[in-house]
Structure 1
């Protein structure tokens, strides 16, 4: 199976490959640099739109699927900071797309405060941690969990959720 990925981020690529491997065995994931079409730090539905745009722009006719993954902050009145971070995945077959979310988590208030001033989560977390390219490695979630959960894990779960309709085509009427 060939899968086009709308990212070159190594952590996201590992997560995409792991999710597809669970259901389809052998898989070749080819990265493509594509524009998400949303702001660098997406909020709410822009996060979902970014994942969809990435999947659609990455798709090639000789591939079985394409995948877009976008992380963003979603407003939540019950969260300490007022926001939860989710990774959203979109799986596209050239005609239809499906969406999945990874587990949501909360950033420290100082991170959200800086993001609301116009800074990107990744840059804020790099400044706090002193770790360059944090998002390409274990991610902010890896830092916050002492590497118990890594960015690739969140991506893998989001892509797995987006694959549910494809592995249950009759139930989902695909």
Structure 2
């Protein structure tokens, strides 16, 4: 089985390798640089749209069984702004989606992001950790290492695979 991930971020590619490797035998996972079609810092429904676009664009870069797109963004839920990571899995016909846990950023970080800056840049400045998003991620720093970005990404990938693991309960997805 060949899987294309719509990013070259090693954290996201490794998360897909980890999940698909537990679900299937003989899996090859490759990161592909593709566009998301949404702003670099997505808000609301832009986040899931970005994941879907990345999955479809990754799938189309070669001869793959699946394209996987992962996009993190901010979503307002009843006045609470949460960082939520979405995943989409595309097989050429069907797209399934899921998301991981959501969490809040410190007010100073959110204020900077609302002026147009990207979360990753603000968090790297705040922590002094260069390229934080390609390491433990903001979640790793904020949770004091109890959950890192790879684990958070694995959640969203597994959630997007649930309909594919249970085709009789959803619809026939092979």
What range describes the TM-score normalised by the shorter chain of this pair? over 0.9
Instruction: Answer yes or no: is 1:51 the counterpart of 2:51.
Output: yes
Give the 4+ runs in structure 1 shifted more than 3 A: none
How far off its partner does 1:78 sit? 5.0
Q: Equivalent residue for 1:75? A: 76
Q: Equivalent residue for 1:96? A: 94
Q: Equivalent residue for 1:148? A: 146
Q: What pairs up with 1:21-170 in 2 under 5 angstroms?
A: 21-60=21-60, 62-79=63-80, 83-170=81-168
Looking at structure 2, the residues matched to 70 and 141 of structure 1 have their Cα atoms a distance apart, in angstroms, of 15
Looking at structure 2, the residues matched to 28 and 157 of structure 1 have their Cα atoms a distance apart, in angstroms, of 20
Q: Name the count of aligned residue pairs.
A: 171
User: Which sections of structure 1, spanning at least 5 residues, go unmatched?
Assistant: none
Greater RCO (CA < 8 Å, at least 6 residues apart): 1
Give the TM-score taking structure 2 as reference length: 0.95
User: Which sections of structure 2, spanning at least 5 residues, go unmatched?
Assistant: none
User: CA offsets per residue over residues 50-73 of structure 1, 9 Å max, x none?
Assistant: 000000000046211110000000
How far off its partner does 1:22 sit? 2.0
Give the TM-score taking structure 1 as reference length: 0.95
Q: Secondary structure at the match of 1:38?
A: coil
- Give the alignment's Cα RMSD to 1 decimal: 1.1
Q: Secondary structure at the match of 2:93?
A: coil
Looking at structure 1, the residues matched to 5 and 85 of structure 2 have their Cα atoms a distance apart, in angstroms, of 15
